[in-house]
Amino acid sequence: MAATILFALVIGLLFLGVPVAVSLGLSSIIVIAFLSHDSMSSVALQLFNSAQHYTLLAIPFFILAASFMSTGGVAKRIIRFAIAAVGHFRGGLAMASVLACMMFAALSGSSPATVVAIGTIAIAGMMQVGYSKEFAAGIIANAGTLGILIPPSIVMVVYAAATDVSVGRMFLAGVIPGLVAGAMLMLAIYVVARIKKLPAEPWKGYGEILQGGKQAGWGLFLIVIIIGGIYGGVFTPTEAAAVAAIYAFFIAIFVYRDMGPLKDIPWVPEDAPSKTRIGFSATVYGISLFGLWMTLSFFAFGDSEAVGFTVRFWTGLGAGVAAMIAYTIWRDPEGSLARVPSHLVAGLPIWGRNLGMIFGNFPTAMFHNDTRKVLVDASKTTLMLMFIIVNALLFAHVLTSERIPQAITELMLGAGFNWFTFLIAVNILLLIGGQFMEPSGLLLIVAPVVFPIAIELGVDPIHLGIIMVVNMEIGMITPPIGLNLFVTSGITGMSLLQVVKAALPFVAVLMVFLVIVTYWPALSTALPYAMMGPEIVTR
């Protein structure tokens, strides 16, 4: 009786247009007040406990990092690198857009952020070389969904909080499926491009790949920090999110300088002598190589006695010095080893100038209008999402206290369900629900119900999480509430119906991918099993 009334209240309120968070919270309070043995004080206690959930602290930091990366010009550098890598294939610009979405997804953890950051630039670029607006919009709408599958993912954090599984395992589980989904979309584009004779970009050589990678490298290094830091045992996923937010702020403001007090001020003045440019670039490459080696070796070896700090330091220092010398000789017209010190000294004033500007403008950058706008936008998104999550966790508490999942489990087992048919039912439920609800809200409603059933039927909890995330992906590009459809419509000026028609052919690719993920568990579990072992769930 309580279960029927609870679900009827939630569905009824949603169809009346009541916000998701209010629907969940109000339904839960009504059931507790009139049908449950719980006292009303449990509402306040549950809301307080939900707000104190340590795992959820990662969400505002990942949102903030994504906001800085979206605003800080990382997207255009990633797109250049992607075009250099795959643009020479037929349909290469569309394939590069998918690759760019995959890389930006590994920075943002958000599908809408990926669509906005990459789509704003990529759709216009595709149209300029002869792609139809509909084709370009369909590609971005679908590729943008990878933002919640490729780690780090905000939706994965939400699932982990709702089911008490490991965020680290969830992130690992999304790596291979994310790569497979991106590859399937790129293969579909290539087939369509061959049929429609879509254009290919000219091959610009490996130098362009290196140049594009160099420009995008500071942004892409965030992936190394997050993934390497978590699995190197340096920090937890929540701490990784905080580090990512600080790093994204520093890169956007002081390195790329696409926003903030140093906006559009180049690191090296245009009138700087060639000798100064060479010396400065050489030291940049040397210091970068040293920093990269020290970071990666720390993640890899940690406190290993065989490869201690001293060994790592001198190895990295030697590699950095060698890189400085090699670059200087390569770029110097005379190519003389004896001229290396003078080049390096000539570059020092550039370092002094830039470090002075960074330290001098740091307080200003903290309160600059660009920084304030990013913080406000990120705060709005965080408040909206956290309000949904807290109310959804109250809803999950009511489910648990009334033993509703256990009752549904017994009903399904009595009806002869096994893991195979259960996963079909889960997919159908989520595909239908995804058409009407925002991913995090739907996941928080469904996960507490289906999770105990999945465990009872022997479904791996990490595998179940990836299945649910992929369903959320498809939900973001299916009407009437597909968030990516609205975002794509907004950046292209197309009507929602036009975007739906454009995205539909590639939705079929993701549907095939959903079947593969559902019935090939190793695709999701192989990497987390190999690195962290299986998830242990106490029934």
Residue 155 Cα distances to 4, 52, 171, 465, angstroms: 27, 18, 10, 10
CA dist 463 and 423 (Å) reads 11
Token duo for residue 340: 């290396």
* Model pLDDT for residues 244-297, shown as the tens digit of each residue: 899 999 998 998 888 889 888 899 888 888 899 999 999 999 999 998 898 888
Instruction: Give the per-residue pLDDT at 173.
Output: 92
CA dist 385 and 63 (Å) reads 10
Task: Provide the β-strand partners of residue 200.
Answer: 90
Is the Cβ–Cβ distance between 399 and 449 less than 8 Å? yes
Instruction: Give the per-residue pLDDT at 319.
Output: 93
CA dist 471 and 464 (Å) reads 11
CA angle 206, 248, 316 (to 5 degrees): 60
Q: Model pTM?
A: 0.85
CA dist 487 and 490 (Å) reads 5
Q: From 380, 132, 134, 363, select the one nearest 254 (Cα to Cα).
A: 363
* Model pLDDT for residues 345-368, shown as the tens digit of each residue: 999 999 999 999 999 999 899 889
Per the listing, tokens 């106490």 go with: 538
Q: What is the mean pLDDT of residues 116-134?
A: 85
Task: Provide the β-strand partners of residue 90.
Answer: 200
Residue 182 has pLDDT above 90, yes or no: yes
Instruction: Give the per-residue pLDDT at 50.
Output: 65
Token duo for residue 415: 């009806």
Backbone angles phi, psi at 200, to 5 degrees: -120, 145
Token duo for residue 414: 């009595």
CA quadruple 89, 94, 95, 100: dihedral positive or negative? positive
Token duo for residue 264: 């559009």
Q: What is the DSSP string of 34-48?
A: HT-SS-THHHHHHHH
CA angle 187, 149, 155 (to 5 degrees): 155
Among the residue ranges 237-241, 300-304, 327-331, 372-376, the one predicted with the least confidence is: 300-304
Q: Helix 439-456 crosses helix 419-434 at what angle (to 10 degrees)?
A: 170
Residue 180 has pLDDT above 90, yes or no: yes
Residue 176 has pLDDT above 90, yes or no: yes
Q: What is the mean pLDDT of residues 2-13?
A: 81
The helix/strand count (H/E) of the chain reads as 24, 0
Dihedral Cα 65, 66, 68, 74, nearest 10 deg: 120
My answer on whether omega of the bond before 152 falls inside 30° of 0, hence cis, is yes
Token duo for residue 5: 């009334």
* Model pLDDT for residues 411-462, shown as the tens digit of each residue: 777 777 788 888 998 898 888 888 777 787 788 888 888 888 888 888 999 9
3-state helix, strand, coil in the chain (%, to 5): 80, 0, 20
Q: What is the mean pLDDT of residues 203-216?
A: 85
Is the Cβ–Cβ distance between 471 and 434 less than 8 Å? yes
Helix (H/G/I), strand (E/B), else coil: 464: helix
Q: What is the mean pLDDT of residues 164-179?
A: 90
* Model pLDDT for residues 293-337, shown as the tens digit of each residue: 988 888 777 666 777 788 889 999 999 999 999 999 998 887 778
Q: What is the mean pLDDT of residues 464-484?
A: 86
* Model pLDDT for residues 30-65, shown as the tens digit of each residue: 888 887 777 777 777 777 776 667 777 888 888 888
Winning range, highest mean pLDDT, from 61-65, 140-144, 308-312, 512-516: 512-516
Quick one: pLDDT band at residue 175, thresholds 50, 70, 90?
very high
Q: What is the mean pLDDT of residues 489-504?
A: 86
Is the Cβ–Cβ distance between 151 and 227 less than 8 Å? yes
Q: What is the DSSP letter of 204?
A: -
Q: What is the DSSP letter of 57?
A: G
Q: What percent of the chain has pLDDT over 70?
A: 96
CA dist 136 and 205 (Å) reads 25
Instruction: Give the per-residue pLDDT at 119.
Output: 86
At 469, the amino acid letter reads: V
Instruction: Give the per-residue pLDDT at 324.
Output: 93
Instruction: Give the per-residue pLDDT at 491.
Output: 83
Instruction: Give the per-residue pLDDT at 238.
Output: 84
Residue 70 has pLDDT above 90, yes or no: no
Q: What is the mean pLDDT of residues 490-512?
A: 88
CA dist 109 and 102 (Å) reads 10
CA dist 104 and 76 (Å) reads 10
Residues in the chain: 539
Instruction: Give the per-residue pLDDT at 317.
Output: 93
Quick one: pLDDT band at residue 213, thresholds 50, 70, 90?
confident
Is the Cβ–Cβ distance between 133 and 442 less than 8 Å? no
CA quadruple 504, 155, 379, 66: dihedral positive or negative? negative
Instruction: Give the per-residue pLDDT at 16.
Output: 83
Q: What is the mean pLDDT of residues 175-196?
A: 92
Quick one: pLDDT band at residue 222, thresholds 50, 70, 90?
confident
CA dist 378 and 373 (Å) reads 9
Per the listing, tokens 């999701």 go with: 524
Taking the CA of residue 523 as centre, how many other CA atoms within 13 Å lie in the half-sphere pointing to its CB?
19
Alpha helices in 197-273 (DSSP H): 206-223, 229-231, 237-250
Quick one: pLDDT band at residue 514, thresholds 50, 70, 90?
very high
Count other C-beta atoms under 10 Å from residue 4's C-beta. 9
Among the residue ranges 182-196, 212-226, 343-357, 364-378, the one predicted with the least confidence is: 212-226
Residue 202 has pLDDT above 60, yes or no: yes
Q: Over the chain, what is the mean pLDDT?
A: 85
More confident position, 166 or 410? 166
